[in-house]
A and B are shown apart, each in its own frame.
Chain A
Amino acid sequence: MQMVDFEFRNEIIKENFSLNYCYQCGTCSSSCPVAFITNGEFNPRKIIEQSLLGLKDLLIKDQKPNVWLCCTCHMCVEECPQNVFLTEIFERIKNMIVLIGEPYPETFKMQAKSIIENGLAIPLSQPIIRRRNQLGLPNVESVNINEINKLLKATNFEKKVNLLGES
């Protein structure tokens, strides 16, 4: 049985009021390339509906529909007749999944780890540095990792993203 959690809805509305404007016309889903490829298994309209109804467990624990499948193309945002900022709402839901410590795709974790360690999603490897020289490209003066660490500590990033997967 699914529990209704109005606090969940309020939390999203606090961050993005446009959730309230949705009248469930489904234009978002008809413009969504992932909905098209998955025959509606990924369904932006449904994610918004469940957010409005406060079906927190379904979205956060069961992850149905799986909000991580959004390709962030923002077609839904452009097409929505009510100016609901869907991709931003999906981002908030993903933030909640991460914060609560529910599982999320490994690739996102790997990127978070690389940013914590290098300040970059893709650090410069030796072969690439050689290739850059070969092409006559200037050196990339790297980021001051201490500065990044201080900033990430202030936002509590490492704890939030829960790299070890403990909930």
Chain B
Amino acid sequence: MSYSYFLGCVIPGRLPFLEISARKTFEEIGMKVGDQAKCSCCPDPTGAAQLDHETFLALGARNLCLFEESNNHILSLCSGCTESLKTVKHILDNDDEKKKEINSNLKIIGKTYKGDIDIKHFAEVLYENIKKIKEKVKKPLKDLKVAGHPGCHYLRPSEIINWDDPLNPKTLDELIEAIGADPIEYDMKNDCCGNPVEKTDKEISLSMLESKLKSMKEAGADCIACVCPACYQQFDFNQREINKNNNTDYNFPVFYITELIALALGINTEELGLNFHRIKVNDVLQKIN
């Protein structure tokens, strides 16, 4: 069975340049990934999913049904969507009562959840192809010190996500290493970026971000690499606000790991829409050229 993209809401609706880097990267390593039409919000595990469990299961299960109908596994471009969809699958596959309940809702729109497709985070699929990535590197990102930020929903809850070590993750750093860059160690690597708290209290959210940035700076990072659009927004959109409030000078370019991989595979910077980043990436481009 092949894969189709689950794009989610944030990437196609706000950060389409992250999507182009993912598409180019998968193309370049010879993987054909399809497009699944008519998906709804996953629903957001840090937002709507917190309001009503039944709706969370129903909307999530409907998305899973779309992929079942087209006979494709899910390749998700967002950690939040990955967690939501994996959670819905986990619950429905392990609880017949719940599955019956949700299927009676889905019947209204002529759908039935069966449970025969898989859900993968895009970085999980990249990691499975790490050898191929290494072989295809044309321009190793030598001497680039990258602070990898795995984020939360990429790893946890491990009972459901079930792949990398939830407290000592390695896969993102190995991907950074695979393209010739230097994945640096820093104290707060495993901490949340603070993005979800913005919905309730912006000040706390920014404080969480600042402690991460501080730790990255102390470790001498040139840039940040992440695997989730919510984390991407937190890092790329809010460094300036922190500088304004606290008289600091954080200016880390922020990359989706697929952007760094695409650069190492020799894909043209213009094709990637790197000019849409809020924090300019020129210093990094100079360093790797």
Structural contact, A33 and B51, CB atoms closer than 8 A: no
Structural contact, A72 and B152, CB atoms closer than 8 A: yes
The answer, yes or no, to whether B30 is at the interface (CB within 8 Å) is no
Structural contact, B48 and A108, CB atoms closer than 8 A: yes
Structural contact, A92 and B53, CB atoms closer than 8 A: yes
Structural contact, A150 and B156, CB atoms closer than 8 A: no
Known contacts A112-B51, A140-B7, A124 near B197 by CB under 8 Å: no
A87 to B157, CA, bound (A): 9
Known contacts A112-B48, A142-B38, A120 near B13 by CB under 8 Å: yes
Structural contact, B13 and A95, CB atoms closer than 8 A: no
Structural contact, B109 and A120, CB atoms closer than 8 A: no
Residues of chain A within 8 A of B47, CB atoms compared: 107-108, 111, 121
Shortest CB-to-CB span from A70 to chain B, Å, is 8
The answer, yes or no, to whether B20 is at the interface (CB within 8 Å) is yes
Max chain B C-beta neighbours (<10 A), residue from A33, A99, A104 = A33
Structural contact, B156 and A121, CB atoms closer than 8 A: no
A73 to B152, CA, bound (A): 5
In the complex, per-residue mask of A70-92: 1 if CB is within 8 Å of any chain B CB, else 0 = 01111101110000010100011
Structural contact, A132 and B16, CB atoms closer than 8 A: yes
The answer, yes or no, to whether B49 is at the interface (CB within 8 Å) is yes
The answer, yes or no, to whether A19 is at the interface (CB within 8 Å) is no
A24 to B221, CA, bound (A): 39
Instruction: Across the interface, name the chain A residue whose C-beta is closest to B204.
Output: A37
* Interface range, B side: 35 or more
A137 to B40, CA, bound (A): 19
Partner of A128, one of B14, B156, B198, B199: B14
A106 to B217, CA, bound (A): 34
Residues of chain B within 8 A of A148, CB atoms compared: 40, 59, 62
Residues of chain A within 8 A of B273, CB atoms compared: 131, 134-135
The answer, yes or no, to whether A141 is at the interface (CB within 8 Å) is yes
Max chain B C-beta neighbours (<10 A), residue from A69, A73, A98 = A73
The answer, yes or no, to whether B158 is at the interface (CB within 8 Å) is yes
Partner of A151, one of B13, B17, B108, B153: B108
Residues of chain B within 8 A of A77, CB atoms compared: 156-157
Shortest CB-to-CB span from B17 to chain A, Å, is 6
The answer, yes or no, to whether A115 is at the interface (CB within 8 Å) is yes
Q: Can you offer 15 A-B residue contacts whose CB atoms are under 8 A?
A: A34-B204, A37-B208, A68-B200, A74-B166, A75-B190, A79-B167, A91-B53, A111-B47, A121-B9, A128-B12, A128-B13, A137-B12, A137-B20, A157-B55, A160-B52
Besides A71-B196, A87-B157, A125-B13, 6 new A-B residue pairs in contact (Cβ under 8 A), listed by A number: A34-B197, A68-B199, A121-B10, A124-B13, A135-B273, A148-B59
Measured CB to CB, the residues of B under 8 A from A are 7, 9-10, 12-14, 16-17, 19-20, 23, 35, 37-41, 43-55, 58-59, 62, 105-106, 108-109, 152-153, 156-158, 166-167, 190-192, 194-201, 204, 207-208, 211, 271, 273, 276
Measured CB to CB, the residues of A under 8 A from B are 15, 33-34, 37-38, 66, 68-69, 71-75, 77-79, 85, 87, 91-92, 94-95, 98-99, 104-105, 107-108, 111-112, 115, 119-125, 128, 131-132, 134-138, 140-144, 147-148, 150-152, 154-155, 157, 160-161
